[in-house]
Copies of this chain bind each other. A is one copy, B any other.
Amino acid sequence: MTRTEPVDLYFQAMADPYRRGFVERLSKGPASVKELAAPADVQLPAVLKHLRVLEEGGIIVSEKVGRVRTYRIRPDAFNAVNTWIEQRQHDMNAAFDRLAAAMAEVPEEKDH
């Protein structure tokens, strides 16, 4: 577990409020760089850099038609992280069940 894994890029991509803002916008439908940059108080080069990080993280894709590049969210954008979290919650539930079973084995204190 020493090398960078795809899920690292994913979480790094999400660890920025601007980038999450772009993901929030793109969840509602495709958009151009101009449309994405308009409500954000950042310059275009910074917007492009954020979008590149999101593309490398496998969260969005872009397509250039003529002079306009359109960004859209990948339909499977959240699959990997959902799967990872589900596995952890499964383990947490199993641990809780083991604890509950162990508690049930403890004899109740009785009045003598």
Chain A residues proximal to chain B, CB less than 8 Å: 1-5, 7-8, 10-12, 14-18, 20-21, 23-24, 27-29, 40-41, 73, 75, 77-78, 81-82, 84-85, 87-89, 91-92, 94-95, 98
Contact = CB atoms under 8 A, between A and B. Distances in A.
Contacts of A16: 8
Given A8-B16, A15-B15, A17-B8, A27 B91 contact: yes
B15 A88 contact: no
B17 A88 contact: no
Counting every copy of the chain, the complex holds 2
Given A1-B21, A2-B17, A20-B7, A28 B85 contact: no
B75 A28 contact: no
